[in-house]
Amino acid sequence: MRLLLYTGKGGVGKTTTAAATAALAAERGLRTLVVSADSAHSLGDVFGRSLGPERRRLAQGLDALEIDARQVIESQWGRVRDYLVDLLRYQGIDEVVADELALLPGADELATLVCVEQWAERGEHDLIIVDCAPTGSTLRLVTLPEMAHGGLQWLLRLQRAAAHVIEPLARGLVSTPLPSAEVFAEADRLFYDTLDRLRRRLLSPETSVRIVVTPESMVIDEARRALTDLCLFQLASDAVIMNRMLPEEALREPFFRDRGRLQAEAWQEIESIFAPLARLRAPLQADEVRGIPALVRHGMDLFGDRDPALHLGEAPRLRFERDALGSRIRLPLPEIDAASLEVTRVEDELMIGVGGRRRKIALPVAFARLEIDHVRYRGGQLVVSFVGGGGGAAASIESVA
């Protein structure tokens, strides 16, 4: 099953583009599901139909739904949530408020991933397309399984340890409800099983991210940073879609003459930055793109004869190399400021920081006993070279223009 995540800055037309891709794919015989993950849903608007958290059949082979985070969380982790609500109510907090507080941050992103995973496992579709929230949230979405794994499992273990020791003592002293074994079982399922599956799904070769842009430099700047972050977390992007290109006819308006020149420049920039990803473009239509026939036409303008579900391009991925010269890791990180790079070895993991974002990469066993020798950033690639034996864990970064 193919999974496509559509992302981009707010207002670029992600929803329309995702819906057009879905409509065209269904028209060409793929069993397709399109999911809106932006809590400010507008997918229903684009189809001209009202949508909800239940799957709705819109045409032959075309299903759509809008995720309701609260509902997903409730059905999946009802017990953990109930415990939190109980705990808060016990402290004299009103149920309405407790209910609110128990909806943990990150819940929207988690709900999206869980919902997509459930549909993927049902195997009823050849293609699932996710219309993501704007870039900031999308990054949170793709980093969530990893962050939660790295951080929250410690917290959980901690709480469990605390409950074990404190419970017998605490019963008499503090009458706070302590989590039951069921709560822990459910939380375990979340941390060790579900998050793992979600992570595997995101990293699967069947999953691609598509970045939607418009011919404006502010939008392209953000897309460029998004691509770096996606690379850092090893999410494979396969295409950049430039939406709302003004057609010849529109450029004849004197007012838009400058825009014509600017959009040609923007396209040049896309060509140079985003290769080897596929670069696609769609025109600004003369009317709102609403309803399935208009969406299919828009999809045709975008993909032509190409299969919209295909792997359209290949972004280079993280590589581990070992040869006579030594061992190294290559990570493509387009267009970053080398001064903002941080590379540290933490036990059997490599921590890479770019700007404010950090991620850890598990080192293969063959690298486990090695130490970082030097780190280089050149031609959009981060290369971390290793040597055998003891030594320091951090390394200075050498930037080569």
Partner 1 sequence: MRVLLYTGKGGVGKTTLALATALGAARHGHRVCVLSTDPAHSLADALGRPVGPHPRAITKDVYAREIHAQVELDGAWRSIQAWLRELLREEADALVAEELLAFPGIEELVSLRAVREVEETGDFDVCVVDCAPTGSTMRMLRFPDALRIFMEHFFEFERKGARLLRPFLRSFEAGRLLPREEFFDAFERLYQEIDEVRQILLDGERTSARLVVNPTRVIVDETRRSFAYLSLHGIATDAVLVNRVLPDSVGQGYFSRWLEIEREELEAIDRSFPVPIRRVSLRSAEVIGTTALEALAVDLFGDEDPAARFAKGRPIRIRRGGGRTRMEIDLPGITKEEIEVLARGPDLHLRVRDGRRSISLPESLIGRPIEGVRFREPILEILFGDD
How many CB atoms are closer than 10 A to CB 282?
Answer: 22
Q: 137, 208, 327, 385: which one contacts partner 1 (CB under 8 A)?
A: 137
Stated length of the chain: 401
Nearest CA to 242 out of 181, 208, 199, 284 is that of 284
Judged by beta carbon, residue 171 or residue 319, the one nearer partner 1 is 171
208-237: contacts with partner 1 (CB under 8 A) = 216-219, 221-222, 225-226
**Ordered strands of the 341-346 beta sheet:** 341-346, 349-354, 357-362
Judged by beta carbon, residue 127 or residue 219, the one nearer partner 1 is 219
What string marks each residue from 79 to 98 as x (binds partner 1 by CB under 8 A) or -? ---------x--xxxx-xx-
The minimum distance between CB 222 and partner 1, in angstroms, equals 6
Interface segment toward partner 1; rule CB under 8 A; list 21-29, 102-110, 189-197, 328-336: 102-110
Q: Report angle CA 94, 155, 153 to the nearest 5 degrees.
A: 120
Judged by beta carbon, residue 120 or residue 352, the one nearer partner 1 is 352
**Ordered strands of the 62-66 beta sheet:** 56-59, 62-66, 32-36, 127-131, 2-7, 207-213, 237-245, 278-283
Q: Quick check: 288 binds partner 1 (CB under 8 A)?
A: yes
User: β-pairing, 127-131 with 2-7?
Assistant: parallel
Interface segment toward partner 1; rule CB under 8 A; list 55-63, 115-123, 234-242, 284-292: 284-292
**Chain position carrying tokens 């486990």:** 368
Judged by beta carbon, residue 73 or residue 88, the one nearer partner 1 is 88
In single-letter form, the type of residue at position 166 comes to: I
Interface segment toward partner 1; rule CB under 8 A; list 23-31, 37-45, 77-85, 190-198: 37-45
53 three-state secondary structure: coil
The minimum distance between CB 90 and partner 1, in angstroms, equals 9
**Cα torsion 293, 295, 299, 301: sign:** positive
In single-letter form, the type of residue at position 20 comes to: A
160-179: contacts with partner 1 (CB under 8 A) = 161-162, 165-166, 169-170, 173-174, 176
**Chain position carrying tokens 């006579």:** 324
**Chain position carrying tokens 């850092």:** 232
Judged by beta carbon, residue 88 or residue 116, the one nearer partner 1 is 88
Dist. CA 275–CA 294, nearest whole Å: 30
The minimum distance between CB 354 and partner 1, in angstroms, equals 11
338-397: contacts with partner 1 (CB under 8 A) = 346, 351, 355-356, 358, 360
Six token digits for residue 62: 């075309």
**How many binding residues for partner 1 (CB under 8 A)?**
75
The minimum distance between CB 20 and partner 1, in angstroms, equals 16
370 three-state secondary structure: strand
In single-letter form, the type of residue at position 124 comes to: E
Dist. CA 376–CA 227, nearest whole Å: 20
What string marks each residue from 234 to 263 as x (binds partner 1 by CB under 8 A) or -? -------------x-xx-xxxxxxxx--x-
Dist. CA 52–CA 229, nearest whole Å: 31
The minimum distance between CB 321 and partner 1, in angstroms, equals 25
Interface segment toward partner 1; rule CB under 8 A; list 23-31, 136-144, 297-305, 316-324: 136-144
Q: 151, 177, 364, 379: which one contacts partner 1 (CB under 8 A)?
A: 151
Interface segment toward partner 1; rule CB under 8 A; list 146-154, 300-308, 313-321, 368-376: 146-154
176-205: contacts with partner 1 (CB under 8 A) = 176
